[in-house]
């Protein structure tokens, strides 16, 4: 019996992370937050002062990292451990997002993370969220979802999240960063962010999280 993969791709802030977790919980599937892997590589490169333009050096670094995901009781997000140290907070900051997007442009880095990502596909199934789950990593997934929302709505959501965490940010600045990141993700030469031809498109701008989850589960029931 092979693992069923549900690929959820889309730009940052479309709600992929929360939706993927809820769908995985409902179906009792495993979960892969592929963005966390790029964030870890970016964070490690920043700490080790590796040049973010040097794809080969970044890939070599990526291959040395011991990455673990841990469920911590009472915590909403899965904790991310790098070489045994909890780096969840650092990688989920705005700076963490920027570093991730810079290292993600390199083919060597993407190749270094490919096998690791594929290894998450275990029975009964996997919900994988990212930018290229349906187009590159799990091209054989029976359900591919492309989840979007307007940049303005995504900036609003991010603003609320960061405020809750006590990070001081301006919404105008966030919107600018989101647009820059979208541009980088959509226009990079390797694995650019785009909807797979066989994906289901969901625009979450005016939908609640529960409604998005409901729609995905409805599609999943038809697999």
Positions touching ligand DC (CB under 6 A) are: 12, 34-35, 38-39, 97, 100-101, 104, 130-132, 181, 185
Tell me which residue has tokens 């609320």. Answer: 160
Q: How far is the CB of 155 from ligand DC (least distance, A)?
A: 13
Q: How far is the CB of 122 from ligand DC (least distance, A)?
A: 18
The first and second tokens of residue 7, run together, are: 């690929």
Say what the alpha-carbon torsion angle 211, 118, 75, 124 is, to the nearest 10 degrees.
60
Q: How far is the CB of 1 from ligand DC (least distance, A)?
A: 26
Q: How far is the CB of 85 from ligand DC (least distance, A)?
A: 19
- Closest to 20 measured CA to CA, from 133, 111, 103: 133
The first and second tokens of residue 103, run together, are: 């290292």
- Closest to 46 measured CA to CA, from 90, 15, 78: 90
CB nearer to ligand DC: give 73 or 153. Answer: 153
CB nearer to ligand DC: give 4 or 32. Answer: 32
CB nearer to ligand DC: give 167 or 218. Answer: 167
Residue at shortest CB range from ligand DC: 35
Q: How far is the CB of 221 from ligand DC (least distance, A)?
A: 25
| Count of CA atoms in the C-beta half-sphere (13 A) of 22 | 15
Residues 6 or more apart in contact with residue 28 via CB below 8 angstroms: 124
Residues 6 or more apart in contact with residue 88 via CB below 8 angstroms: 77, 79, 80
Q: How far is the CB of 109 from ligand DC (least distance, A)?
A: 9
CB nearer to ligand DC: give 42 or 125. Answer: 42
CB nearer to ligand DC: give 101 or 199. Answer: 101
The first and second tokens of residue 164, run together, are: 């809750």
CB nearer to ligand DC: give 176 or 218. Answer: 176
CB nearer to ligand DC: give 108 or 132. Answer: 132
Q: In what order do the strands lie in the sheet with 4-9?
A: 30-33, 125-130, 4-9, 143-148, 200-203
**Gap between the Cα atoms of 71 and 94, Å rounded:** 23
Q: How far is the CB of 208 from ligand DC (least distance, A)?
A: 20
């Amino acid at each position: 019996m092979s693992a069923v993969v549900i690929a959820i791709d889309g730009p940052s802030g479309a709600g992929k992370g929360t939706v993927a977790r809820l769908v995985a919980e409902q179906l009792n599937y495993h979960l892969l937050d592929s963005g966390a892997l790029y964030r870890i590589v970016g964070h490690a490169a920043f700490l080790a002062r590796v040049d973010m333009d040097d794809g080969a050096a970044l890939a070599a670094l990526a291959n040395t990292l011991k990455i673990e995901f841990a469920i911590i009781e009472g915590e909403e997000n899965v904790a991310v451990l790098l070489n045994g140290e909890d780096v969840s907070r650092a990688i989920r900051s705005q700076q963490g997002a920027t570093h991730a997007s810079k290292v993600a442009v390199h083919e060597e880095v993407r190749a270094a993370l490919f096998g690791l990502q594929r290894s998450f596909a275990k029975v009964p199934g996997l919900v994988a969220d990212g930018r290229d789950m349906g187009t590159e990593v799990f091209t054989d997934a029976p359900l591919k979802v492309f989840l979007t929302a307007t940049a303005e709505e995504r900036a609003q959501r991010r603003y609320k999240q960061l405020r809750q965490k006590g990070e001081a940010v301006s919404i105008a600045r966030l919107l600018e960063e989101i647009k820059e990141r979208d541009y980088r993700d959509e226009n990079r030469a390797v694995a650019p962010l785009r909807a797979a031809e066989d994906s289901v498109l969901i625009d979450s701008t005016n939908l609640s999280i529960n409604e998005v989850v409901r729609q995905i589960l409805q599609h999943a029931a038809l697999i």
